[in-house]
Structure 1
């Protein structure tokens, strides 16, 4: 791929995708998990500074108020900010509690008019084994299963956004908001390669205290991050592509009673990508020290600390995946990609390329959700057909949206 001027992002361009490269996002809405600290907090700062409405999904214990204040300060102080007074909200949710995830996601579908960007980065870090309220490995529950259900229950809102016109900018001096297709970004890690080879996702027993991985904080973390890549590549990507467009794809004002037409420049898809913040995430050396105790942990911290990335550097791949216009120009190439460097797809480790393992993860995830919440807990993943286009413009309590 040839780098395009102004987009940054690839090694061919000779520079990384920077905060200044992020386009105007006025009128867009972004939901982020795990964004009360570290790289994803920086992602939230940049998205807000570029005009997006930013929703932070977190537990109250994660200190969201401090994160929201950090975002406000960033928008106020930085020269490149297009939005010195950001639109921010805290969404209280415990991703380790499937009932809570379902309730919150369904409420978002009722309350929000659109959803353009979802960044899934919540997780436990390198920590010892613990169980969720649903009785499974907490690493897996927070990093993967909670996001699996969250995205599923948000699909009506994401599809509504896919069919809606691009948002109009509220800033007369800013360039038009770029990008049309909603994007889902699942944040993984280079440590996914340390997942145990027996992480086959065949049995729920793999997620219990009796499993081999339970004794290793690194294995628990790595398995959860491996799941993020498999979820995107073999789960979301093939299911987020919409049906083929109708014969006429030009923009036409919908007359009364007609289904609204889709914009001709809009990919009929929701883009899903996995990203890697870099070899050592912000704060990861401290996690290793805490997880492995004074002796081994201190040694691991000393080894890892020189490679620790700053939040700004660690945020680049996710910012690129969430906002770079070039993805839309070649969206079929990027659908399901694993991005470690802005503008470059990484093949990943052998386990992350294992389609069979990906299919088993998907089946296990659906089974776990249904066992906990019932057979009707999951929405249909695939787009049913053009009937979705009519439903896409219906907002709760208001009937259809008016065509622009």
Structure 2
């Protein structure tokens, strides 16, 4: 299979109907995997006497999003140690959509968030397919989508969380960069920046690719200029608004995140967390598993570089991985924070696409069952913080 040039955008037919037909097998497979995960969750939750609906819509971060939708910003929780958890830490696009959907339907904010997440997850799967198809062909596109669906924490894609929405915006923005649609790329990057702090990765990917084009071609088209200018507006607007509201200026949002215990320390806190696991035998196994997991993520990224993925994907994925692994926040959330790093899956998707269909289907089917079981167990236990 041939790969596109490292930097060169490629025009492809823009007809949505044709693109949807090409993606249909991937989307159907994705929906099947997610349906299996939800079915296992329902069965497991019933056995535990818990409500799967509550697990999906009214726990952890989903509650913070619905409170933003319901009451706006200003909700705070003061902990016994004096720190304050403010809902200003949560970017506004998902609660805005929850409020919009709830206003035009009988759905509650939580159910509206669930609907947005389910639709966004399908859009994310479509965007991942388009990126993988563009680079490696249709079979690799299908495999990439299923791989994203069967990630161990893939159940988060079906929760009222912002990961699916962000991944959808990021994937489509990157596809627009790869195909030279700069205005669309900038607009989608701006929306991604209104969804999660890691939206900066999408902006950086667009800027890096545009910079290479300007240096190589010694010209800047008006479409590229508009895309470059649009890309950071969403994140910048929210961060500046938080700084103004809190009186913290440019660093106001960082102060809010600091109260949550979030920051960037180059991975020192995470390294200490892993090291502490080796103080006893049972926890040492978990520590070993964490080391293997981190090594796998790094190895996949190196493989992406060696296989010549486009610059936009390498910049985007590198920043997502760096922010996930090197942040000092709650360490149990790191697998969830890596969900948007779908370019890591492309080398595996290419390898699976080279197998016979029956063999690749068997492999992915087995992993899908394991993922569904793990997702049901995880969500009924500690779950995603």
Higher strand share: 1
Normalising by the residue count of structure 1, what TM-score does the alignment of the two structures yield? 0.26
Normalising by the residue count of structure 2, what TM-score does the alignment of the two structures yield? 0.27
Higher helix share: 2
Higher relative contact order (CA 8 A, sep 6+): 2
